[in-house]
Structure 1
Amino acid sequence: YAGALRDGTALACLQSANHEVGTEQPVAEVAALCAEAGVPLLVDAAQSLGWGPVAGGWSLLTASAHKWGGPAGVGLLAVRKGVRFAPQGPAGERESGRAPGFENLPAIVAAAASLRAVRDEAAAEAVRLRALVDRIRTVVAERVGDVEVVGDPERRLPHLVTFSCLYVDGETLLHELDRHGFSVSSGSSCTSSTLEPSHVLKAMGVLSEGNVRVSLPMGTAEADVDRFLEVVPGVVAEVRERLGAPVSAPPSPAPARSLVVDALGRRCPIPVIELAKVIGEVPVGATVTVLADDEAARLDIPAWCEMREQEYVGEEPADRGSAYVVRRLS
């Protein structure tokens, strides 16, 4: 974290917990580094504030009331005493010049009251939901082949879990789960309206396709989680079959030659599926080159190699798109 602070850094920003995978961040440690460097730290606590206070000497803290069941449209900004703060936009006399007009007092009071009510139940509910999330993490890994549960297994929010399924298109998976009555998401809301892979998953080096994010609201029943775990394996298998994904181990090596897979013009996870189909057709030590022009292939092919213990040789230029070279190790 210290490496992110450079000469001239005016402000450092950190999520108290990541919104996509739930991993809690070391706010106190980062705040100490920022204080030593004389840089104010702004903490986005939207995802975690309903579960408890944010420790550490942060300078500014933001949150959104709808995250803990309060009124939508009410944001929270806490400025620690002693922090120099100048509001942007027109200034008025209210709130030390921070509010340009009349505040929505009913919504503000409702936001504070709902946070207090949620906090009264948070400790017990966190224990209960953490146990349900632990069950999802364990059972999904047991019942769904070629799946990767993402995020720190211990240092995490109690209600959130993310997993990525190999050979699956995330949007198709969400639609199928919705048909069974489950409202889940895939990756970041920031990229939900685009075809761009999540920058968080990209930075983590995990699969960007076939990603499922499950957020359990307070009061989630154990029976609902059990039904979700009964449905997920069949839905994933159905989507994989529809996409023509491999359903068994690759065949034994055949010809002693390298192969080229042309997946140009095809969206992920198709390039990865085609790679998985032919990897067994080359001997150990030989390579498969995948030609692809979908941006997600740049993330998913290396992630597939790590999951399947194959060697990702690298990316090479091609007449169209890129050529991704994989060496078979086993």
Structure 2
Amino acid sequence: MPINHISQPEYISLGPGLRLRRFSGLTPALSASALAWYRDPETARLVDSPSAKPYTPERLERMYSYLHQNGELYWIEEDRGQGFAPIGDVCLLPGGDLPIVVGPEECRGRGIGRRVVRALIARARELDFPAMTVKEIYRYNEGSRRLFLSCGFREGERTPEGSRFVLDLEKAMGDSRRLYVAYGSNLNRVEMAVRCPQAQAVGVGELRDYRLVFRAGGRGVYLTVEPCEGGVAPMALWAVTPEDELALDEYEVYPELYSKEEIQVEFQELATGRTRRAEAFVYVMVPGHVETEPGREYVERCLAGYRDFGLKPGPELKKRGKEELA
């Protein structure tokens, strides 16, 4: 259903191999997939109540009909090698309630829910929602509580069996930026202006006791940082919005190729020259990728970023830059 007279998009990308697709009705195949999720007693307990019974086909159809008529209903779809297949559903309702189910057990705990919620926070902003209110999360549903807290919601008033969770979007526009540590191609200001148009360059510094390493990942060779006693990795800090962070997640193939870590960093503010310490997040390649030689194009993109921030490349980049240009 259009909200605020704005058409619902057919697709919303959540990164490589993951998307939201607009609900346009139930087919026998879709109904069978969804019934498998909602007939799971644990799913019914988390979604409805401790005494909830597994769904029947009729109840499932009534639920989807209500959500479709009253909000923006989407399938959560994953590319499973032979095309996209549904792995859950989510609905953005007026007022910002956001019922979400990730069905198959093997899809849980992979950060999919977080990517969905962040995408629909961005969608709620497009729709000029002043706030989002999840009407109730049961107190025993620790997974959902952690999910919404991690996306910036705060726990609100108590309900008979849990709590409301609220995100003030007008306030969040001013204070929801997070500091992001860039050490490779995301130092490149031209690329970041396209990838994350709201990002602001904040400062420069060094990651101490870390080293830069080129490792094979996906279809290329990319930089990562790894702990190394006595090592130094030059870096810059960007202040990024939730939408920027979602774009970075997609670019970094998070969480399949890179994980995210929260670290304390010391840096020099670009605006004032003052030295500060703050918490920031950094992408680190997941284990199991071989150290190898990068291509010239990627090295040059990284070196352009070093020049943008006036940083001195370490031996890992300087050596390869000379070799590639020789």
Place the TM-score, normalised by the shorter chain, in its bin: under 0.3
Pick the structure with more strand per residue: 2
Pick the structure with more helix per residue: 1
Q: TM-score, normalised by structure 2?
A: 0.25
Q: Which has the higher contact order (CA 8 A, sep 6+)?
A: 2
Higher alpha-carbon Rg: 1
